[in-house]
Amino acid sequence: MPSITKRTYTERAAAHPIAVARQLLECIDRKKSNLCVSVDVPNKASLLRIAAAAGPYCCCIKTHIDIVSDFDDDLVAQLQALAEKHDFLIWEDRKFADIGNTVKLQYSSGVYKIASWAHITNAHPIPGDGIVTGLAQVGLPLNRGLLLLAEMSSAGNLATGDYTATTVAMARRHTDFVMGYVAMRRVDEDPKTAGGVAEGEGADFVIMTPGVGLDTKGDGMGQQYRTPDEVINQSGCDVIIVGRGIYGGGDGNPDEKIVEECKRYQQAGWKAYEDRL
């Protein structure tokens, strides 16, 4: 079982070789927030409203851009302006899952041109190393970062055991672009606490973890929620991802409620981090 890192976000930021990982870790430290808010709403106005309300309290806003029925380039421009104003990164949770040549085109082109605006995106390892190579051809020149899905939060998912171990091995072969994992626990050794990691191991991967909720345990469709303490303190993950626990579903809670929930999760996430240290 990999050891849980006791190093601070600050220490890790200073040493990280990937620019966008550095940016994320520095932002977490600056804002004292390891909260990523997932904004899964079906229209542009709601997405921007929630991002504006949550922005001051989080290090990252996560999108599923293909949910938005009135997507246009102005949405991206406004989201980028909010990211500047409120100091957060943008992660498009695209979960690429095809061969290198296809994902390269999906990442750079089409309606969404994800690489042009998302600091971070993610991919399933299922197609093999080519998926990382293809995405890196687009993302590296733009200083983007990639997360590999080593585990998932949903009941009965197949990303377990050997699958997870193989994902970690894949990430270690691409440490110029793979900055971390979507995972439920620290799936890889911390280079500073592991002691004697083999050659090619020991990269500092950022673990970003969905399935976080303080009030419910599930959503009736397989999602499984754990508390910030379970995720950050007990499981050694780095960032909590909260969606409906904050925006509430549908077009979203009113702004005051979003702010209140953001503060609650930000505080819980930060306390769990301090307890881990």
From 75-83, 137-145, 188-196, 239-247, span contacting ligand 5FU (CB under 6 A): 239-247
In 3D space, the residue among 216, 272, 271, 269 whose CA is nearest the CA of residue 59 turns out to be 269
Q: Which of 32, 87, 95, 251 is catalytic?
A: 95
- List the Cα angle 123/124/128 in 5-degree steps: 105
Using CB under 6 A as the binding rule, whether residue 24 contacts ligand 5FU is answered as no
| 95 in catalytic set | yes
Answer yes or no: 6 catalytic: no
236 neighbors 4 (Cβ within 8 angstroms): yes
Nearest distance, CB of residue 192 and ligand 5FU, angstroms: 27
Of the listed pieces 9-17, 18-26, 149-157, 189-197, which binds ligand 5FU according to CB under 6 A? 149-157
Going by C-alpha positions, the residue among 150, 261, 170, 270 that lies closest to residue 216 is 261
Residue with tokens 């990999």: 2
Stretch touching ligand 5FU by CB under 6 A, among 4-12, 19-27, 150-158, 228-236: 150-158
Identify which of residues 13 and 182 has a Cβ nearer to ligand 5FU in the complex: 182
Residue 38 as a binder of ligand 5FU (CB under 6 A): the answer is yes
CA distance 165 to 76: 36
Residue 211 within binding range of ligand 5FU, rule CB under 6 A: yes
Determine the length of the chain: 277
Contacts of ligand 5FU in 159-188 (CB under 6 A): 182
DSSP-derived pairing of the beta strands 120-123 and 35-39: unpaired
Stretch that binds ligand 5FU, among 18-26, 78-86, 169-177, 241-249 (CB under 6 A): 241-249
**E strand intervals along the chain:** 35-39, 60-63, 89-96, 120-123, 145-149, 178-182, 206-209, 239-242
- Site for ligand 5FU contains 63 (CB under 6 A): no
Contact status: 146 vs ligand 5FU (CB under 6 A) = no
Candidate residues 7, 22, 32, 64; the one interacting with ligand 5FU per rule CB under 6 A: 64
Please name the residues in contact with 33: beta carbons below 8 A apart, sequence gap of 6 or more.
Answer: 27, 57, 58, 59, 266, 269, 270
Q: How many residues bind ligand 5FU (CB under 6 A)?
A: 17
**Quick check: is 93 catalytic?**
yes
**In the complex, minimum distance from the CB of residue 241 to ligand 5FU, in angstroms, rounded to a whole number:** 5
Report how far residue 275's alpha carbon sits from residue 271's, in angstroms, rounded to the nearest whole number: 6
Contact between 242 and ligand 5FU by CB under 6 A: the answer reads: yes
Q: Counting contacts by CB under 6 A, is residue 121 touching ligand 5FU?
A: no
CB–CB of 199/215 below 8 Å?
Answer: no
Find the residue with minimal CB distance to ligand 5FU: 243
Closest approach of Cβ 219 to ligand 5FU, in Å?
6
Q: Does 93 bind ligand 5FU (CB under 6 A)?
A: yes
Q: How far apart are CA 69 and CA 7, in angstroms?
A: 42
Q: Which value, in Å, is the radius of gyration of the alpha carbons in the chain?
A: 17
Residues annotated as catalytic (active site), given as ranges: 93, 95, 98
Binding site for ligand 5FU (CB under 6 A): 38, 40, 64, 93, 149, 152-154, 182, 210-211, 223, 241-245
